[in-house]
Amino acid sequence: MTTIAALVARVQTYLQDETADAWPLAQVESQLRESIQMLGRQQLLGAVDWQQVLAGEPEYTFADTTVDFAEILYDGRSLRSVQEDALTRLKRDWDRATGNPQYYTTPLEPSQTLRLIPVPHSTGSAVLHVPPQVIAGAVEGNLVAYRWVSPPDVTPGVFPLQEVLEDLVVFLTVGALTGQDGEFHDKTKAQCFETLAMLMLKELLGD
């Protein structure tokens, strides 16, 4: 867990601008948020959620921070992602079939919604919590979603970020700030931190 304030302090140290004379705090915070959002787009920020499956209900919506679904489990088994047009070519009434879900599709709008195929014919085990919830309930007959997410508003308070991602966010931010045209432009420092960030990103993404 970390805070924007802690990340700002690290950025200021690398910038050698602890008193915010060169880069105002608002500018540093804004650049940090932009760097964190980039991690979400690169599918580096994950979340795991649970939802109860309801008989006759094919669609399930997760938090609007969802970027993409990494894996969907139903009843503890992985579901296969398919395209709706491919299903239509195989069977016209695929959307009316019921049974134990074997596949899922992700409609274009909203992007955080998935559709189970076939439509579940039984309701999953209930828990005391109202779904969606971080995994805390029965898996039998229910959904567990591994999602890539974009970060929520992280100010104020703390938010989960792996240590290696803290480093990456800081390096991206320092590189961006020192690379901007202006009185405090520092091409050498910008290139150094951008290179560090790209090397870390390449290692994390396995490219």
CB 156, CB 164: distance < 8 Å? no
3-state SS of 25-36 is: HHHHHHHHHHHH
> Domain residue spans in the chain?
2-43+154-205, 46-149
d(CA 89, CA 144): 29
Q: What is the pLDDT of residues 41-52, one digit of tens each?
A: 888 888 888 889
pLDDT tens track for 161-190: 888 899 999 999 999 999 999 899 999 999
Helix (H) or strand (E) holding 59: strand 59-61
Token couple for 93: 């009434």
Q: From CA 24, how far away is CA 17, in angstroms rounded? A: 9
pTM of the model: 0.68
